[in-house]
Structure 1
Amino acid sequence: MIGIAVSAPLEREDAIVREAARHGHRVVIRAATATDLVERVAARSPEAEPRIDLVLVVADARHASRQLVDACDERGLRLVAFADDEGERVRAATLGLDAVSWSDGFGAIEAAIAPGAADPGPDRPRGRVIAVWGPSGAPGRTTAAIALAAELALLGRRVALVDADTTSAAVAPSLGLLDESPGFAAAARLARAGSLTVDELDRIAQAVPTMGGVVQVLTGIGRASRWPELGGERVAEVLARCRDWVDATVVDVAASLERDEEISSDLFAPRRHAATIATLEAADDVVVMAGGDPVAVARLVRALPELREVAPQARVRVVVNKVRPGAIGVAPERAVHETLRRLAQVTPEACWPFDGRAADAALLEGRPLVDVAGRSRLRRRVQELAATLSPQPVPVSRASLRAAERPRRSWRAALR
C-alpha cells in the first residue's frame, strides 16, 4: 500500500480516491489547489502515519505549480501529473513532471512509480564514477571537474557533473547556473525516500550545453550549513543510480578526509565530510588535483596515504596543476616528477600548465575550457586525460551538437 496526496478537480479527485482504494492504496491528503497542498504537506511531520509516498496532481495552473515541485523535491516525494490534453502535457513538461493519462488507468500510475521502472536493461553496461579530489588549497578541482565532464561529452559519452562539495560548492556559479534548488540535495532526499529513479534524475538535473553535447548537472548546496542533507548512505545511493543514468559521472568533492566519528561519542550522528568519503569509496577513478608549487606538492605527499586508505579500490590519477617556472624553477615538470617519485613513489598522470588566461575566460563566460579556449595548452592537457578516462570513444552525434546550440538558464542572463 502507498499513501497518496491529491490535488485535482473534485470529480477527478473522487475518482482517484476510488481507484486508489480499489488497488489497495490510500489517499492521505486531498487538496483543492497546489498552494493548499504545499501548505498541508509542509505541516505534516515526516514520521506521521500513514506516510505519503506519492503526490498526484492534474497538470493545470490550479493544481500544479513550481512551488509544489520544489516542496516535493525538498521532502523526497514522488510527483506524478495527469495530462489529458495538449495544454496539460505542455505544463507537465515545463515543470519537469512525469505525466500519465487518466484514460490509461491507475495501472499506469503504478508503473510510473515502480522502483527501477525506467532503469536500463541488463545488457547495458553501468556507468563509471570519476571523483575529482585534491588536498586543501585551491588546486583547481572545480575547473578540472567541469573541463573533464565537457571533454567526456565531446568523446560521445553521456555525462553527469555532480557537485558534492559540502564546504564550498562552486560548480553552479562557475557555470552561471541558477541553483535555488540544489539538484544533488534533491537527489539525496529522493534516495532517502526510496524514490530516486533515472527519470527523477533527468527532471532535477540542469542540462548544460557544451561544444560536444549536453552535460547533466546536479548542483551543490549553496550554504555549507546544509551539509547534513548529504549523508553518506544517501550519497552512495545517488551515485549508484547515476551509474544507470549516464556513462560517466564526474563528482567534485571537498578536500577534507577527516572521519569525525573517531572523536565523537555519538557514532550515529551525521558526519561533516561523509559526502567526500562516500564518493571516494564509490569511485572507479580518482583524479587527484594538486597545485604546482612547493607548499601544494607537500600537501599532496602527506594526503596520498590517507586517500589510499579511503579509496583502495579506485585508480588514482595524480594531476599537478598550475605548473610554472616561477614557483618551482627551471624545468618545472621534470622537478615535479622527480619530487613525487622520491617522496611519494608516485608518477603524475599529467602536469597541467598555469594558464590563467584560459581559466579566466572559462569562468567569465560560465562555460567549459573546450568552449572558450579550445586551442589552449591547458585544454589540450585536459583532453589527453579525458581520453584515458574514456578508452573507447563514441562518435559525437549530430543531435548532441545541435543540443549544444540551445540556450540555457543562467544567472548572468537573468541580470541582463
Structure 2
Amino acid sequence: MIGIAVSAPLEREDAIVREAARHGHRVAIRAATADDLVERLAARPADAEPRIDLVLVVADERHASRALVAACDERGVRLVALADDAAERARAQTLGIDAVAWADGFTAVEAAVRPSADAGREPARSRGRVVAIWGPAGAPGRTTAAIALAAELALLGRRTALVDADTTSATIAPALGLLDESPGFAAAARLARAGSLTVDELDRICQLVPTMGGTLRVLTGIGRASRWPELGGERVAEVLERCRDWVDVTVVDVAASLERDEEISSDLFAPRRHAATLAVLAAADELVVVGGGDAVGVARLVRSLPEARELAPQARCRVIVNKVRAAAIGLAPERAVHETLRRLAQVTPEACWPFDGRAADAALLEGRPLVDVAGRSRLRRRVQELAVALAPAEQPASRASLRAAERPRRRWLPALR
C-alpha cells in the first residue's frame, strides 16, 4: 500500500482518491493548493500512519510550486506531477518534477513511485480478509455466530471488525447493547459513494466494544428495513475493500435472502433489495454457512446451499449446523446431520454446534459475546475451534491466550447456573 498526499482540482482529486482505493492505496492528505499541502506535510508527525510515500499534484501554478518541491526533498518523499497538456508538461519540467499523464491510468503513477516507495522497506502487511456469515431463512443463529466468532478472532490477536450488513433485520446493535440511531455501516456506505471513505473515517464512525480478548470495532446496521436503498452493491463492495486496510479480519452478518431482483424487474438500474447480501458474498474470502439443527433447518440448508456457493465462488465455504439436539433430530444427532448433508447436499459440515440455551441467553442478557459470559460452555468451545481454523497460519494463536479464554469471569457465573 502506498500512502498518498494529493493537491488537485476537486474533480480530479475525487478521481485520484477512487483510483487509489481501487488499487489498494490510501490518500491520507487532500489539499486545495500547493501552499496548503506544504503546511499539512509540515504539521504531520513523522510516525503518523500511513507513511506518506507519494505526493501527487496537477502541474499547474495553483497545485505545484518550488516550495512544495523543497518540502518533498526535505522529507525524502517522491513528488509526481500529472501533466496532460503541453503547458503542464512544461511546468513540470521547469520545476524538475517527474510527470505522468492521467490518461495512462493509475498504473503509470504506481510505476513512477515504486522504485523509491518500496526501496529498503519491509514487505507490506497482507490485506485483511472478509468472513461472511450467512444462513437460510429462519433463525439458525447467524448473528450469535457472527458476534461470538468476531470476539474469538480478537482473542487470537487479530484486529477484528464486526459489520452488520443485514438489510431486513439488523440485530447486532441490540444484541450488544449499542445505540443504532446513526448506523455505522450506512455512514460508511455514504462516504464510499462520495469517494472519501478512509481508515480514519472508519475509526471515527465505528463503535468500540471491549471484550476479554480485545476491542471489537463494530459498524452497526440500519435500524429500519426501509433504509435498504442506502446499502447499494457498489457501496458495500467499496466499504469491504477499505475494511481490508483497516483490520485483519472483517466479520459480516448478512440477511438470508439471495433473490436477484433484476430477474423480476424491468428497470435494470433500480436499486436492488438484496444487493448488500450479494455484494458481501461476492467479496468474501471465507463463507460461513449457519443452518438450523432440526428437520426444517436442514431442509432449508440443503435447498439454499448450492445458490450461496455459486454467489461466492472464490470463498472457502464452511458449513456449520447450529442448535443440534437429540430432541429435534433423534439419537446421535450429529451423526444424523452428517449423513443427511452428505447424502442430499454432497457436503460434510465443518462442525455441529450444540443447542446451548443457557450460554446464548446469558450472552444476550448481558449484551456481550459468549467468550465473556460463558467461557466454558460447549457452544463457546465450538466457536473457538472455528476461529482457530479461520486464523491465518502465519499467526498461530498463543497458548496463553487460549488458556485465558478458558477462565470465565466470576461475575458472570450466576447467570449460567
Could you tell me the TM-score, scaled by structure 2's length?
0.68
For residues 111 and 152 of structure 1, do their structure 2 counterparts lie closer, same or farther at Cα, with a shift above 3 Å needed?
Answer: farther
Q: Which residue of 2 aligns with 1:90?
A: none
* Whole-angstrom CA distance in 2 between matches of 1:109 and 1:193: 22
State whether structure 2 residue 390 is matched by structure 1 residue 389. yes
Contact 2:175/2:364 (CA < 8 Å) preserved in 1? yes
Query: Is 2:188 aligned against 1:187?
Result: yes
Aligned to 2:160: 159
Q: Which residue number in structure 1 is paired with residue 67 of structure 2?
A: none
User: After superposition, where does 1:28-43 map in structure 2 within 5 Å?
Assistant: none
Structure 1: distance between partners of 2:49 and 2:192: 15
| Inter-partner Cα distance in structure 1 for 2:216 and 2:141 | 19
How many angstroms apart in 2 are the aligned matches of 1:197 and 1:164? Answer: 19
Match of 2:57 in 1: none
Deviations along 1:27-56, one digit per CA (max 9) or x if unpaired, are xxxxxxxxxxxxxxxxxxxxxxx9998xxx
Show the 5 A alignment for 1:189-228.
Answer: 189-228=190-229
Q: Which residue of 1 is the match for residue 252 of structure 2?
A: 251
Report the equivalent of 1:344: 345
Please tell me whether the aligned partners of residues 156 and 397 of structure 1 are also in contact (alpha carbons under 8 angstroms). no
Give the match's secondary structure for 2:228. helix
Aligned to 2:264: 263
Output the amino acid matched with 2:225: A
Amino acid at match of 1:257: L
1:107 offset after TM fit, Å? 3.9
Q: What does residue 315 of structure 1 align with?
A: 316
Q: Is the 8 A contact 1:154 1:396 kept in 2?
A: no
* CA contact 1:146–1:171 (8 Å) conserved in 2: yes
Give me the whole-angstrom Cα distance separating, in 2, the residues matched to 1:211 and 1:226: 34
Please give the TM-score of this superposition, normalised by the length of structure 1.
0.69
Kindly report which structure 2 residues correspond to 1:13-412, keeping only aligned pairs within 5 A, or say none: 106-108=37-39, 123-390=124-391, 391=393, 392-393=395-396, 395=398
Tell me how far apart the structure 1 counterparts of residues 142 and 255 of structure 2 sit (CA, whole Å): 9
Amino acid at match of 1:200: E
Specify every segment of 5 or more residues in structure 1 that has no aligned partner in the other structure, as ranges: 1-22, 27-49, 54-79, 81-97, 402-416
Alpha-carbon distance in structure 1 between the residues aligned to 2:270 and 2:255: 20
Q: Report the Cα distance in structure 2 between the residues aligned to 1:165 and 1:261, rounded to whole angstroms.
A: 20
Question: Within 2, Cα distance between the matches of 1:220 and 1:111?
Answer: 39
CA 1:122/1:188 → structure 2, altered by over 3 Å: closer, same or farther?
farther
Q: Is this contact kept in 2: 1:284–1:313, CA < 8 A?
A: yes
SS at match of 1:196: coil
Deviation of the 1:111 alpha carbon: 9.8
- Looking at both structures, which has the greater relative contact order when contacts are Cα pairs under 8 Å and sequence separation is at least 6? 1
Distance 1:122 1:267 in 2: 43
Letter in 2 for 1:256: S
Quick check: which has more Rg, 1 or 2?
Answer: 2
* Contact 2:388-2:397 at 8 Å conserved across structures: no
Contact kept, 8 Å, 1:198 with 1:244, in 2: the verdict is: yes
Measured at CA, do residues 397 and 269 of structure 1 come closer, stay the same or move farther in structure 2, by a change above 3 Å?
A: farther
**Unaligned 5+ residue runs, structure 2?**
1-6, 15-27, 52-121, 405-417
- C-alpha distance in structure 2 between counterparts of 1:279 and 1:52, whole Å: 28
